[in-house]
Structure 1
Amino acid sequence: MAIRGTAGPAWIILEIALFRISTAYSKTLLTSMSALSMNAWRYLWLFLLLLILYLPFFLLASVNFAHELKRAYSLPYVWREGCAFSSGLLGLIGLSLMPLSLATALFFSRAIFMAIYGLAVFGERLTWPIAGAIATGIAGVMIATRPDFGQINFGVLLVLASAGLSALSSGALKTLSTDVSSGRVLLRISLLMAPICGIFAATEQHQPTSEAASKRIE
């Protein structure tokens, strides 16, 4: 499927840039709090912000919130957010066990998983330009970060699993957006995850994820 215009690629580039910044900041925060607590808090603030932004519009549109809440707890949404939350959790644990440069390089494997998912589920052809873009991106990350693969450990498997789950959650999000607006999808996701993340954030103690995290492996 061809990409029309530049809006789609521009948003993807922005997402990658913000993700890299947040990954570096997450590395620091993991020295003082657990991965579960951090993941819950960041999701909680995100979904509360989305609810605050979207609620006025949906109230004006007389949206049936009972129906939206029921749809939010349906299997497609639970599956999507389960993948997304698990991806974030595994990624944070893996990040605490390895240098930031290595984690950054491994996170980029998400592009490969997404290409495979698009081919298997949506029948999207992996054209030479797309394959070349993925390969060039991975090569660029390798050159920029120069990861030390001599420090490979169990965290590598966790980060790769995180990248795979992230691709699954992105594919699921695309499926959810086929019959309803993106705004309504975000509203349902927020209604589902805000209370769940609130429970995790309130009950999880702020402890370092691991001994490795407290030593700030770099």
Structure 2
Amino acid sequence: MDGSVARPRPFLALGLRLATAATLATMAMLVKLAGEHGAHLAELVFWRQFISLICIAALLAAWGKLGTIRTKRFGAHTLRAAYGLTGMFFVYGAVILLPLAEATAISFTAPFFAVLLAVVLFGEKVGMYRWGAVALGFSGVVVLTQPAFGLGGATGMDPIGAVVGLVAAFMVALISFQIQDLNKTEAPWTIVFWFVALTTPVAALALPFVFQPHDAQTWAIIVAMALCGALAQILLTTSLRFGSAGVILLMDYTSLLWATWYGFSVFDRAPPASLWLGAPLIVAAGLLIAWRERQIAVARQKTQTTEV
């Protein structure tokens, strides 16, 4: 695949994002499982990037596509790597600190942060629909992170974990804009390669301080986690090449189903009542944002057609 701008293919983008959601949910489950087996957060980040780098470099070499990693936007890749590595620590930290379903639900606030970033970074005008959706979504976060009004004896969410989860969602929104910008000139393989190539040496700096021996089962979990991460990175980047972030982010909501199932089947934790009260508000707000952005995109396209 060359570095030219891809033509929009919305159904392909949605399918890729659906696969991304399932893969990321599986990776999150493995991150939490590895953490419970004694693996340090910084160690997990390193192995995720290092193994991804080996896999991606090997695939590019086998396919004779190493030449595709040439870039004239090294500075943009460096900035994406810095934000991406920071985001990984917060995303993994939220998964380790919080139950899977709750961490996943909080991650759904990414579209709300995307709206705020669109205003701050691009001066986009946001109407009452999207501002209302942001308010609705964050009200869902308040419900989710507080005791569920005494239902089932809920004690509330770990406040540190909740903050880490919200920062992680903000970073996901920010990185989505970065990837969309890189996709204008770069191939998905180029974006993924430079991300892992630039972040692996940085992540390795922490390894002497956190590394510890593991048994075979823990190593298997770590390797599986890293492979899921590599696959998810490729799927996510490609999905943003063929569709807009505001629309395909809808598919991320399916990860809550995976997270709830993993939480119950792997960690023996049933979702609390606050999840069923807060998550629908967050999802509804995300759907409202996507619907409104779709309306705006259609109207803009009609205007451009008329002008032509």
Q: TM-score, normalised by structure 1?
A: 0.69
Per the alignment, residue 58 of structure 1 pairs with: 65
Residue identity in the other structure for 1:36 = A
1:21 equivalent in structure 2: 26
Equivalent residues in 2 for 1:44-55 (5 A)? 44-55=50-61
Q: Which residue number corresponds to residue 210 of structure 1? A: none
Change (3 A) 1:112 1:12: farther
CA contact (8 A) 1:108 1:163 kept: yes
SS in 1 for 2:65: helix
**Deviation larger for 174-183 or 197-206:** 197-206
1:43 aligns with one of 49, 56, 64: 49
Residue 156 (structure 1) shift: 0.5
Letter in 1 for 2:185: D
For residue 79 of structure 1, report the CA deviation from its aligned partner.
1.6
- Separation (CA, whole Å) in 2 of partners of 1:89 and 1:101: 18
CA RMSD between the two structures: 3.6
**Correspondence 1:118-133 to 2 at 5 A:** 121=121
| Deviation for aligned residue 1:46 | 1.3
Q: SS where residue 150 of structure 1 aligns?
A: coil
Q: CA deviation at 1:82?
A: 1.5
The CA deviation string for residues 32-90 of structure 1, in whole angstroms up to 9 with x for no partner, is 1111111111121112211111134235x5x6x7x65x854x2x212211111111111
- Structure 2 unaligned spans of 5+: 1-7, 149-153, 214-266, 270-308
Aligned length: 192
Distance 1:184 1:123, change over 3 A: farther
Distance 2:28 2:113 in 1: 19
Output the TM-score relative to the length of structure 2: 0.51
Alignment CA distance shift 1:11-1:37 (3 Å) = same
- Is the CA contact (8 Å cut-off) linking 2:49 and 2:196 kept in structure 1? no
| Percent identity of equivalent pairs | 16
Deviations 1:169-214 (A, max 9, x none): 121111112123223333333432343344444653249xxxxxxx
Give 1:182's aligned residue: 188
Higher Rg: 2
Instruction: Please tell me whether residue 10 in structure 1 is matched to residue 15 in structure 2.
Output: yes
Q: Is the 8 A contact 1:99 1:217 kept in 2?
A: no
- 2:95 corresponds to which letter in structure 1? L
Contact 2:107 2:165 in 1 (8 A): yes
Structure 2 counterpart of 1:30: 35
